[in-house]
Amino acid sequence: MTGTSRKTNNPSLTQLKIPRKRVLSALARGVADLYCPDLPILPEQIAKASGLTFNYGNYEDYFDGMLEHIAGDFHIYMNLDKSLQNSTRSRFTFAHELGHYFIDEHRIALEAGLTPSHPSYTNFQSENIIEKEADYFASCLLMPENRFKADCNRKPFGPELINSLTQKYNVSATAFLLRYVHSEQVPLMVICSKKGKISWRWESDDFEFKYLKSVKGSIPGVSVTAEFYKNGTEYTVPQNDLYAEDWFNYTDHEPNTFRLKEFCIYAKKQGMVLTMLWY
Ligand SMILES: [Zn+2]
């Protein structure tokens, strides 16, 4: 094995715990079923029905969305300089702000003045547990548990499923993956990288490999993702000739026996690659 195992790759510190995920998913499902029994989920409709006000404006780089509380009233600011109204990104940001309202602890902190407002960034890089909770709530609101599970049931993970469900739920691939990785369908890791460096990662609770074979945050050299960064090679279908040891330092399996599938979404506009590893 080459590469070094760095403890900084340990993801468990700020991951949401399973019981908390269940609470957030059930809460989001309840809100979705009450206000939007049909698809797609409309965050603006949920806000109106809940007595929240909102506006879209040009706020440069300050935030994607923000929830503000003044004297009992809540208002959501949406930043058009970050995303167009009704785009998948904007829908996710709006759902995230609704999370800060519907999650009791978040709303109570705002009402108590403990936090003046919640400026939020839709880039999934925050290590703040509050932001992770609102992101997870957003994914569960836009893709409610009962409907999402029925749509995923017995369907193999891969590009076809991603395409059909991102369209059905009107969400980005990133939002879909955040929902899917926590839906206990298949052991899956999702890695976002830019210029060959890992920005963030998510993995399902049953994904057993934890320590990336990554030096200083780089993508491991023997991988589909690395091929793109080295040669610009793009695959349109999942590759299944990867070994787990190409990506991970691990101890419980014999080397060269455990295979992974790897598939990438090349989001060139955002300059990022979404890598999916599963088995
Ligand atoms: Zn937030």
Judged against a pLDDT cut of 90, whether residue 1 lies above it is answered with no
pLDDT score of 215 = 86
Cα of 249 vs centre of ligand 1, distance in Å, is 34
Beta-carbon count within 10 A of 75 CB: 16
Judged against a pLDDT cut of 90, whether residue 4 lies above it is answered with no
Q: Which stretch of 117-126, 174-183, 214-223, 255-264 has the lowest confidence by average pLDDT? A: 117-126
- The environment of the single-atom ion ligand 1, i.e. residues with CB closer than 5 A, is 118, 120, 131, 134
3-state class (DSSP) for residue 216: coil
77-87 in b/e form (b: 16+ CB < 10 A) is: bbbeebbeeee
Judged against a pLDDT cut of 80, whether residue 117 lies above it is answered with no
Cα of 13 vs centre of ligand 1, distance in Å, is 19
Cα of 250 vs centre of ligand 1, distance in Å, is 35
Q: What is the mean pLDDT of residues 44-69?
A: 94
CB 190, CB 177: distance < 8 Å: yes
Q: Are strands 53-57 and 73-79 parallel, antiparallel or unpaired?
A: parallel
pLDDT score of 12 = 41
Cα of 139 vs centre of ligand 1, distance in Å, is 13
Cα of 142 vs centre of ligand 1, distance in Å, is 16
Distance CA 203, CA 181 (A): 6
Task: Tell me what the pLDDT averaged over the chain comes to.
Answer: 90
pLDDT score of 72 = 87
Q: What is the band of 63 on the pLDDT scale with cuts at 50, 70, 90? A: confident
Judged against a pLDDT cut of 50, whether residue 118 lies above it is answered with yes
Q: Which stretch of 65-79, 102-116, 167-181 has the lowest confidence by average pLDDT? A: 102-116
Cα of 226 vs centre of ligand 1, distance in Å, is 32
Cα of 168 vs centre of ligand 1, distance in Å, is 25
In a 13 Å sphere around the CA of 113, the CA atoms on its Cβ side amount to: 2
pLDDT score of 210 = 85
Cα of 96 vs centre of ligand 1, distance in Å, is 6
Among residues 44, 45, 37, which one has the least CA distance to residue 147?
37
136-189 residue pLDDT tens: 999 999 999 999 999 999 899 999 999 999 999 999 999 999 999 999 899 999
Distance CA 3, CA 249 (A): 8
pLDDT score of 184 = 85
Distance CA 225, CA 230 (A): 9
Q: Which stretch of 24-28, 53-57, 257-261 has the lowest confidence by average pLDDT? A: 257-261
Contacts of 98 (CB under 8 A, 6+ apart): 31, 43, 46, 47, 50, 52, 76, 137, 138, 141
Distance CA 121, CA 134 (A): 11
Tokens of 81: 């300089």
Judged against a pLDDT cut of 50, whether residue 5 lies above it is answered with no
pLDDT score of 8 = 38
CB 77, CB 52: distance < 8 Å: no
Q: What is the mean pLDDT of residues 89-97?
A: 96
Distance from the Cα of residue 161 to its chain's centroid: 16
243-266 residue pLDDT tens: 999 999 876 666 667 899 999 999
